[in-house]
Each structure stands twice: as structure tokens, then as C-alpha cells.
Amino acid sequence: MIFKQVPVGSFQNFSYLIGDESTKKAALVDPAWEVDRLLQLCSELGLAVSLVINTHSHSDHVGGNEVVSQRTGAKVVAHAASPVHKDISVTDGDRISVGNLSVQVIHTPGHCPDHICLLFDNKLLTGDTLFVGECGRTDLPGGNSGDMYDSLNKLLELDDKIEVYPGHDYGHNKSSTIRYERQNNYTLKKRTREQFIQFMKEP
């Protein structure tokens, strides 16, 4: 498998490239900035972009969907609740094929209702649900702290060794692990759902 984390744009976003070496097919996750650079990278690696996958519908994650589709013919994959134009709707537990690779969809509402995390090959793309040392905001339209609590707990059930790759470079490292986040992320300290909802209201 070919896997690249690409820092892009003015809001410390990460786009991701997931490529299957055997079929030379690739998915671009959250293309919004520097699309030329992302497509250039794919072509340098000899990969054809067959899918765009959005972790969620905020513009800093989806702004490049159309350009990538037009230039590569890639189909757009997003959660069924996402308002973006999509060719393939997914929901919790679905699997997305990238060539011979299989990417599992985990629905994680809270930051927004259509948020999904993507699990493959011991790697978890967490979008704006979980950052290194932080969790995503719940005060934007469609945000819900109770849902975020449930979603974070869903992620914490995953194996300790799974690597965490967030949608923004907000931490002191560009990636971490479920174990690291469980032990060090102050937003994941043991709280009841009510306590977490209160905690998210604090400045």
C-alpha cells in the first residue's frame, strides 16, 4: 500500500493519499487545497485517482472534490447525510474498495452529522473528530457534544496500536496512536456523557 499524509492550505489541513500498488488505483481523502500538487504526487507515484473520499462536508475538506473529479473521473464518496455532491453514499460499517484495498467506514457524528473516520491497514483517518491531543469542535452548525462523546468512545474501543491520522495539524506530532490519545488527550479523560457535554461548553 502507498500512503501519504500531505499538509495543505492555510488552515493546517491534511489531505491523504491511499494507493493500491497492485492496481495502481488511489483515493484522495479531503482534497480541498493545492489540488495540482496532490494530482502531481499521484502521477509521480504512477497512481490513477479513482475515488475522492470526504471525512465530512466542511469546505476546507471538500473544496477540491469537483476539480479532482473533472480531471481524473474520480467518484466522490461521502456519508449519506453529507450535503456535498456525491456519487457513492456510505454509512457506518460500509467498506470502500480502493483497488484491492478495503477501507472501513466508521460513522462519527459530533463535529458535524455526516462525519466519518476511515480505517485500513492499522491506520485511522480521524478527520475533525480526533486530533493529536485534541478533539474536534462541536459548536459549529450541526455539531453535537453528546454525539461527539459517543463517537470518541467508539474510536477508543479500537486497538491501542492503531495509528491516528487527523484532518488538521493541530498537535505537537502529525500523527499518533489510539494508545497515545487514550493516555494523553485531555478531551478523552474519563467523563460521563453529561460531564463531557459540560466540558465542551467551557471556553
- 128 vs 181, beta carbon nearer Fe ion: 128
Site for Fe ion contains 115 (CB under 5 A): no
Minimum CB separation from Fe ion for residue 128, in Å?
A: 4
Q: Does 168 help bind Fe ion (rule: CB under 5 A)? A: no
Q: Is 58 in the site for Fe ion (CB under 5 A)?
A: yes
Distance CA 192, CA 186 (A): 14
Scanning the chain, the segments in alpha helix (DSSP H) are: 35-44, 59-62, 65-72, 145-156, 178-184, 193-201
Q: Residues 121-140: x/- map of binding to Fe ion (CB under 5 A)?
A: -------x------------
Listed ranges 120-128, 150-158, 174-182, 187-195: which one lies at the site for Fe ion (CB under 5 A) = 120-128
Where does this chain touch Fe ion (CB under 5 A) — which range of 11-19, 57-65, 76-84, 173-181?
57-65
Going edge to edge, which strands form the sheet with 48-53? Answer: 2-8, 13-20, 25-29, 48-53, 75-79, 88-90
Instruction: Report which residue's Cβ sits closest to Fe ion.
Output: 58
Task: List all residues 6 or more positions away from 13 whose beta carbon is below 8 Å from its beta carbon.
Answer: 7, 30, 32, 33, 60, 61, 167, 168, 169
* Nearest distance in Å: CB 127, Fe ion: 7
Rounded to a whole number of angstroms, the minimum distance from the CB of residue 157 to Fe ion is 23
What proportions of the chain, in percent to the nearest 5, are helix, strand and coil? 25, 35, 40
Q: Which is nearer to Fe ion, 47 or 125 (CB)?
A: 125
Provide the 8-state DSSP code for 109: T
> How near is the Cβ of 167 to Fe ion at its closest, in Å?
7
Could you list the residues that contact Fe ion (CB under 5 A)? 58, 128
